């Protein structure tokens, strides 16, 4: 400053928080139903540390039956939308997701359903 060779040192520190998605309940058990009858339940998607708007996508499992046929018996709906929004107080609003199952063939399934954002978190 003003041709003065003095050096100034500035130290910055911070914490990086990665966005994440929690699901409540973390495990889901749907009741057995007769063939071709729908069963469903609702879960809460709880986004944390999102600083910009994003959108939730769902990877639904494909089931292979004993005869080799493949079916997609699960479906999901987001009655209030799939957008993760940052509220005025800096938190993210929870999303409601309705998960349903229907199959015209006898099937039992234990596996994963993935909820991801646009950045594959």
pLDDT in tens, 15-32: 888 888 999 999 988 888
Query: Average pLDDT, whole number, for the chain?
Result: 89
**pLDDT of 10:** 81
CB 41 within 8 A of CB 29: no
pTM for the whole structure: 0.79
Identify the domain containing residue 60 by its residue range: 37-116
Q: Is residue 24 part of a domain?
A: no
Which is more confident, 2 or 85? 85
pLDDT in tens, 87-99: 888 889 999 999 9
pLDDT at 118 over 60: yes
Using CA atoms, how far residue 50 sits from 15, 23, 86, 95, in Å, is 14, 15, 7, 13
Residue 11 belongs to a domain: no
pLDDT of residue 53: 86
Total number of domains in the chain: 1
């Amino acid at each position: 400053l003003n041709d003065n060779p003095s050096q100034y040192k500035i130290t910055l520190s911070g914490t990086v928080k990665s966005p994440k998605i929690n699901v409540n309940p973390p495990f889901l058990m749907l009741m057995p139903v007769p063939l071709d009858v729908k069963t469903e339940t609702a879960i809460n998607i709880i986004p944390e540390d999102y600083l910009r708007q994003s959108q939730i996508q769902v990877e639904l499992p494909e089931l292979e039956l004993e005869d080799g046929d493949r079916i997609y018996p699960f479906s999901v709906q987001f009655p209030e939308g799939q957008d993760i929004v940052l509220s005025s107080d800096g938190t993210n609003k929870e999303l409601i997701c309705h998960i349903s199952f229907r199959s015209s063939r006898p099937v039992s399934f234990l596996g994963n359903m993935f909820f991801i954002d646009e950045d594959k978190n």
